[in-house]
Structure 1
Amino acid sequence: MFFGPAFGKLAYMQGRSAFRSARNSLTVLIMPGERNGCKLKMNILLVTMSLGIGGVETHIAELAKELIKRGSNVCIAANEGIYSETLRAAGAEILILPLDSRSPKAIVSSYRGLKRYILNRKKQGSQIDLIHAHARIPCMICGRLHKNFHGEFHYVTTAHGVYSKLPGEKYITDWGERSLAVSDDVKKYLVDCYGVSPNNIDITVNGINTECFAPAGNDEQVVKITEILGFSSSCRHRVMHVSRIDSASSDAAYQLIESIPELYKRYSDIEIIIIGDGTEYEALKKKADEMNNLIGRKVVFLLGARTDIARILSCGDCFVGVSRAALEAMSCGLPVILAGAQGFFGIFDESEESLNTAMRTNFCFRDMEASSSDKLTKALIEIFGYDKDKLLDMGMNGRNIVTKYYSVSKMADDAEKMYSSVMKN
């Protein structure tokens, strides 16, 4: 077995059946040539867990689209998700594999499916030049592929966060010839927990599409979206929140709901808009329904997974959240309160100290105090007390920061610099 005896004979037998299914579902290969008037530069295989809603998924989607614009041929291997069709329309090939599962059956299936895909590309004269893996399961699988193909292609990775590590995971997770980390603390995590050389890690950013995530063009656009989604047209205290709704990421969503009774005393038009999906969605919906019944009207709106987040954010008065979602809100010109499952910072201002603190942890604040409903309530009361000019200045300053430091172009430049580095070797 390619992962050793830990997976055992049962995993092998399960994998044979799963592999047949994966083999039969392989998508049509794209041959090198011309696309959109540009000569293809590289055949790149991006490998991640899924193409559903999430910060990592959006990062990969934006990176893939930019690499295609620059002339590369991109395939994305992942489990099916909401971004699949958008990426196909942009010119990416999608290879559906169960890369979001740790089960031995899924791991064997993913390994075999990727191996067959690489061999087919080689036979058809469009050999993969480089694999770029994101997240630990893809890194484990792609690292083994790289070794078994004896360097026929290059292998690099991006680390997006800091996670708990299972026993022995250090020895089966391969972070490639070079790595990108989305913040300084993620780089430290790779060095301390996996023994990756700091000389092999560069810092990148979560590139935000500032053309898509932009302030509302006109009031008519906001009115139309407000009507479609059932928001109150008279609300002037609408709080937006975007996050994965699972046990590791939903703290702020619950805390926002808990803050409503105190906020409602001051702002009777208050609305909390929560966008996202995950394993905690039904439990969160129950809390939202209870709060709506307590207040006597719909205060909490749970919108589930959406791909039109930029349009919806344009209806907000402020945003609560962290990481990529916070950067997207800043790009839309919203004042931001930075709070999430990993830490609480509070109202973000344009000071150099605030920016450096945020950038150090990719706007996640892993080294800060925990968030709570009381802290969120106080921060929201403070931000709702600002006058219109101050709020507009905060929004504009936030957008300027995203434009300067967090562009999609910068993210793609970082990736291509890493690709060039390993190709030279």
Structure 2
Amino acid sequence: MEIPRVPKICRRIPTIFTVHGTYYPKSELLKVVALASATICVSPPVYEYVQEETSVEPILIANGVDTKEYSERDVTELKAQLNIPEEAFVLLYSSRINWTKANICMMLLRACKDVKLSKAPHLHVVVVGDGPRFKDLENLTDLIHRTCKDSFIHLVGEKQDMQHYYPIADCVVGTGRVALEAMACTKPVLAVGNHGYFGLVDKNEYDNAWNYYFGDHNSRHACSRFTLARDLGTIIASSQQLKNIGLQSREWILNKFEVTKVTEELIELYLDKLKDETT
């Protein structure tokens, strides 16, 4: 990443740098934070990462969620379009299909095959996302369908209207922003991300899940097909508990991540930095 020269006329304009992950090369991170009037981190692990790697004191401001847009909605038509039976238990996974996220997705599909054959013949899986390994996903799906003699995995590709897809699920497997948006839609989340496995997020685990960013920036342990299959089997057998977890999850999102609250924090920071430059 090449850092552009800053014209003299711009040097009194406040600059806010937002760090979204722990993947930045240290040399480039140091260059950018040196130019910034303030550095925002979107999760506790990222906050700790910036503290460890730089001399700046970052500010923790979470990604906000539009809880009016991301909420419960009728999914009858979408289920019909995807040919998902009304009585099906629907699991949803959403991410870009590349690198670690593609590996997680394929591990999940293999675990779902195990659960489908042993415990939950009514299981259906919706995968939202695209990327360079999408063809690998299609090939694996074809193999699983032949083994199970049932076309229960629905690869829908990239979608820009995730607020319509989360509500179709009984449980969402994901991390980071996917987890936050799914919880806003009253969906329980099985958290697994780039760093590893976290597990089912209930009211006793909110703080831990947030501090780990749902497995994306930190985790409890490595993810495996066995772990996923074991926990999915338990989750599918606990439908009423899942509904309660989903409703509680939305309340947590409303209290902590509602977009208007986050926007107010950002505006306050912007105004403070503008004031600093004019005094």
Whether these two folds match at TM > 0.5 is: yes
Higher relative contact order (CA 8 A, sep 6+): 2
Residue 196 of structure 2 corresponds to 343
Residue 71 of structure 2 corresponds to 214
Q: Contact 2:172–2:179 at 8 Å: present in 1 too?
A: yes
Give the SS at the match of 1:362. Answer: helix
Q: Does 1:371 align with 2:230?
A: no
CA RMSD in angstroms comes to 2.0
Measured in 2, the distance between the counterparts of 1:244 and 1:357 equals: 25
Give the SS at the match of 2:40. Answer: strand
Residue 56 of structure 2 corresponds to 197
Deviations 1:331-363 (A, max 9, x none): 111121111221211111101xx1221222333
Deviations 1:118-137 (A, max 9, x none): xxxxxxxxxxxxxxxxxxxx
The gaps in structure 1 that reach 5 residues or longer are: 1-101, 108-139
Measured in 2, the distance between the counterparts of 1:185 and 1:346 equals: 17
Give the SS at the match of 1:180. Answer: strand
Q: Contact 2:172–2:189 at 8 Å: present in 1 too?
A: yes
Give the SS at the match of 2:101. Answer: coil
Deviations 1:107-166 (A, max 9, x none): 6xxxxxxxxxxxxxxxxxxxxxxxxxxxxxxxx34xx33x55452422111111111527
Q: Contact 1:185–1:361 at 8 Å: present in 2 too?
A: yes
Q: Contact 2:175–2:193 at 8 Å: present in 1 too?
A: yes
Counterpart AA for 1:215: E
In the superposition, the TM-score normalised over structure 1's length comes to 0.61
Q: 1:409 aligns with which of 253, 256, 260?
A: 260
Q: Contact 1:205–1:410 at 8 Å: present in 2 too?
A: no
Q: 1:153 aligns with which of 8, 13, 16?
A: 13
Residue 22 of structure 2 corresponds to 162
In the TM superposition, residue 377 of structure 1 has moved relative to its aligned partner by: 0.9
Measured in 2, the distance between the counterparts of 1:251 and 1:164 equals: 22
Counterpart AA for 2:48: K
Counterpart AA for 2:185: C
Q: 1:399 aligns with which of 250, 255, 259?
A: 250
In the superposition, the TM-score normalised over structure 2's length comes to 0.90
Measured in 2, the distance between the counterparts of 1:304 and 1:196 equals: 42
- When Rg is computed on C-alpha atoms for both structures, the one with the higher figure is 1
Mark the CA change 1:187 to 1:301 in structure 2 (over 3 Å): closer, same or farther. Answer: same
Q: Does 1:291 align with 2:144?
A: yes
Residue 357 of structure 1 corresponds to 208
Mark the CA change 1:373 to 1:215 in structure 2 (over 3 Å): closer, same or farther. Answer: same
Q: How is 1:23-42 mapped onto 2 (pairs within 5 angstroms)?
A: none
Measured in 2, the distance between the counterparts of 1:387 and 1:270 equals: 13
Percent sequence identity is 22
Q: Give the count of matched residue pairs.
A: 273
Mark the CA change 1:266 to 1:248 in structure 2 (over 3 Å): closer, same or farther. Answer: closer
Measured in 1, the distance between the counterparts of 2:148 and 2:9 equals: 62
Mark the CA change 1:254 to 1:291 in structure 2 (over 3 Å): closer, same or farther. Answer: same
Measured in 1, the distance between the counterparts of 2:132 and 2:254 equals: 33
Give the SS at the match of 2:168. Answer: coil
Q: Contact 1:263–1:377 at 8 Å: present in 2 too?
A: yes
Residue 40 of structure 1 corresponds to none
Mark the CA change 1:184 to 1:312 in structure 2 (over 3 Å): closer, same or farther. Answer: closer
Measured in 2, the distance between the counterparts of 1:359 and 1:281 equals: 29
Q: Contact 2:170–2:187 at 8 Å: present in 1 too?
A: yes
Q: Contact 1:274–1:303 at 8 Å: present in 2 too?
A: yes
Deviations 1:396-418 (A, max 9, x none): 11000111001111221222122
Q: Does 1:321 align with 2:180?
A: no
Q: Contact 1:183–1:205 at 8 Å: present in 2 too?
A: yes
